[in-house]
Amino acid sequence: MIELAEMIRELRHELNAALADGSAAPVRFELEAVEIEATVMVGRKAGAGGKVRFWVVEAGGDAQVESSRTHRISLTLHPRLVAPDGTRRTLLISGDEADAER
């Protein structure tokens, strides 16, 4: 399992890599909304300073066994490229299609 925040960090990394890779490509795609659906397990550490954490659950057998403690969430992210001066630019990406990518 990984934390939901780590999954989103990795997604950001992959989008940045595709953006850099596509800068010289003649055909590029405008990046709009990114939709993510994940099964998460919610946990909290005991104590006054306890923090709630969301752990992404693998889609295998473990998710079935712990189904009473898992939740499905959907996120829609709207990535923006913001320059240091605050101006926003359209994101254009390219790259090879990964297995099972839609």
Q: Are 7 and 39 in contact (CB under 8 A)?
A: no
pLDDT of residue 65: 45
Nearest CA-CA partner of 36 in 14, 61, 67: 14
Query: Side chain identity at 4, as an amino acid letter?
Result: L
pLDDT of residue 29: 78
Q: Are 75 and 35 in contact (CB under 8 A)?
A: yes
pLDDT of residue 10: 92
pLDDT of residue 46: 65
Which residues does the chain have with pLDDT short of 70?
45-49, 59-68, 94-102
Rg (CA), the chain: 17
